Amino acid sequence: MSRASRAAAADFIENEKQFHLGFLPTEQAHPRTADLERRFKDSTLSGVACLQNVDHDVLKMAQKVLASEAFEKFAAAARETLARRGRIVFSGCGATGRLSILLESMWRSAAARYEKLAPYADCAASIMTGGDYALVRAVEFFEDYQSFGRRQTAELGVCEKDMFVAITEGGETSSVLGTLAEAADRKARCFLLFNNPADLLCEKLERSRLAVTDPRVTVLDLFCGPMALAGSTRMQATTSEQLIAGAMLETAAAEILGLPRPDFAAQFANVLARLEDAAGTIARFIDLEADCYGSGSRITYYADAYLLDIFTDTAERTPTFMLTPFKKADDTDAPEPWAMAKSPLYPTREVWQNCFRRGLRCITWGPEDYRELGGTAKMIADPPAIDEEEMLRFEVGSEPVPGRCDRPKDTAVLIGWNDEKELFEAFAKQAAPFPRREKMLFGLDIPDSPLGLMRHLAVKLFFNTLSTGTMVRLGRVSGNWMSFVAPTNKKLIDRSTRLIADLGHVDYQTACELLFEAMESPRDTSPIQLVLEKLASEKRE
């Protein structure tokens, strides 16, 4: 082991204790999925049932929270904010950042559909750590800085007219808590949504305690237990936040439109039931994906109204399972990502306009900004290229994809509802060069609504199960741990260390030292797998 890796491990263990998060339920393994890997080896359908079972934990939470005084205060604040033409601003990082963008898009899309909502179109906004660029490709280490979140909040011009909704699955993401603190200082009406017991957060983490106990902040604790895949908060945690935050927006829209408030818990129970009815179809798509990737081929997903939902899942696969990220069109050296999301209806710039119904909101900070914000020496010397121009280099529209349709099992898949005729026709044209073409049409008994909340949730749950099941099938999950996670920030370094300690049967310090040693290997190699293979080899000897 090199002196540098041992020193880096010692520094992380001694000086980064605020990122040692194994005590949080959202970071722990779920007992009901302990045999997830074996269940998928038995049959894909059995594995699907195992994953779907945990989604019922979200329903139990929702039944409680939706009937609570805190939710009524949440809904009332939205009503009052809209009455004064303030903005409902959502803030998140990673999965919750993508959710924040989606919630804003859902509101703006509803305003485009309903005349009575049109005057309120600009009354929703979102902040994603790293800006809109991070929707497509993760921006490493931004989540570790409260100062970055504060700056993004200031740049959005959050003020006392606004309602601010900070969303962090664990309740501890530094950048998101930074946005919340800045919003509170600017006298916005503030709410904090998270998925761990508030008392536990206050006891263990100072930054969380300061946010949870701030008298200017109303807390909605959406605790629903561990994730089906250990630590993968893109799953049940983000589902619960999408359900509760979306219900608040749907309630506000219903009041403006003169509609009765929906029974969101009953509607969500119906979504779970319909997806369980479709378990065989989901299993078929998992087998299709696994066969495609296993043969070296690629899948391109096409959608319109649900394109952001697919971005959320496909972009999250990169750090979660250490997959190739989305590539820029002019980057001829980068490999093709396993999965890609595109619209067959519009070219790239129009896709973003159609998805967001606003201009792109990207970051253009220079060296002096990163120096002022306390960024790393690398950020200061070479600021990340995450501005609008860079984002538009990802061709997510109707542009041709010659590098994705020339392998024997390259597949185009349409995601939509049964009533999208224009989308079907555009897909038929775009998918013609692909050797394989598939459709996943949600003809399920899931009614539409002004914001389409339950339909968006159905697509999310489908993709959560699909991507997780595929990765289990391809050996990128051990037990119910994501053993190919990329340790690209401090939280993921801790999670990777705990995974090695658990599966490799070593103590935390040894696991951390071995991880930092393995991280010196090429980036396309899973450091966790390298360590686990090394430990297994030593055990055999």
**Tens digit of pLDDT per residue, the chain (541 long)?**
788 889 999 999 999 988 898 999 999 999 999 999 999 999 999 999 999 999 999 999 999 999 999 999 999 999 999 999 999 999 999 999 999 999 999 999 999 999 999 999 999 999 999 999 999 998 878 999 999 999 999 999 999 999 999 999 999 999 999 999 999 999 999 999 999 999 999 999 999 999 999 999 999 999 999 999 998 999 999 999 999 999 999 999 999 999 999 999 999 999 999 999 999 999 999 999 999 999 999 999 999 999 999 988 988 888 788 888 899 999 989 999 999 999 999 999 999 999 999 999 999 999 999 999 999 999 999 999 999 999 999 999 999 998 899 999 999 999 998 878 899 999 999 999 999 999 999 976 898 999 999 999 999 999 999 999 999 999 999 899 988 887 878 888 999 999 999 889 999 999 999 999 999 876 667 898 899 989 998 887 7
Three-state SS at 23: coil
Q: Are 123 and 81 in contact (CB under 8 A)?
A: yes
Contacts made by residues 276-282, CB under 8 angstroms, sequence distance 24+: 276/49, 276/52, 277/444, 278/444, 278/462, 279/45, 279/48, 279/49, 279/52, 280/45, 281/440, 282/48, 282/462, 282/465, 282/466, 282/469
Residue type, 439: K
Among 440, 463, 470, 459, CA closest to 47: 470
Give pLDDT, residue 231: 86
- Separation between Cα atoms, residue 212 and residue 199, nearest integer Å: 9
151 Cβ partners below 8 Å, 6+ apart?
Answer: 365, 369, 373
Give pLDDT, residue 38: 97
- Neighbour-count burial for 16-42, b at 16+ CB within 10 Å, e otherwise: eebbbbeebbbbbbbebbebbbebbee
**HEC string for 481-541:** ECCCCCCCCHHHHHHHHHHHHHHHCCCHHHHHHHHHHHCCCCCCCCHHHHHHHHHHHHHHC
260 Cβ partners below 8 Å, 6+ apart?
Answer: 254
Angle between helices 508-518 and 527-540 (to 10 degrees): 120
Three-state SS at 202: helix
Residue type, 522: P
What domains appear along the chain, each with residue ranges and CATH number?
Answer: 3-29+481-540 (no CATH), 47-357+364-473 (3.40.50.10490)
Give pLDDT, residue 526: 84
Give pLDDT, residue 524: 65
Among 189, 441, 179, 169, CA closest to 305: 441
Residue type, 81: T
- Separation between Cα atoms, residue 158 and residue 136, nearest integer Å: 25
Give pLDDT, residue 299: 97
Among 414, 471, 462, 459, CA closest to 290: 471
Q: Are 364 and 395 in contact (CB under 8 A)?
A: no
Residue 449, Ramachandran bin (φ over 0: left; ψ between -120 and 50: alpha; else beta): beta
Query: In 10 A of CB 255, how many CB atoms?
Result: 15
Strands 339-342 and 217-221: unpaired
Three-state SS at 455: helix
Among 415, 402, 420, 406, CA closest to 285: 415
Q: Are 167 and 396 in contact (CB under 8 A)?
A: no
CA angle 237, 339, 388 (to 5 degrees): 80
CA 13 to chain centre: 27
pTM value? 0.93
Query: In 10 A of CB 429, how many CB atoms?
Result: 10
Contacts made by residues 532-537, CB under 8 angstroms, sequence distance 24+: 532/478, 532/483, 532/500, 532/503, 532/504, 535/500, 535/504, 535/505, 535/506, 536/504
Give pLDDT, residue 523: 62
Q: Are 512 and 495 in contact (CB under 8 A)?
A: no
Q: Give the chain's length.
A: 541
Tokens standing for residue 233: 């908060």
Q: Are 90 and 165 in contact (CB under 8 A)?
A: yes
Q: Which helix (H) or strand (E) holds 92?
A: strand 88-92
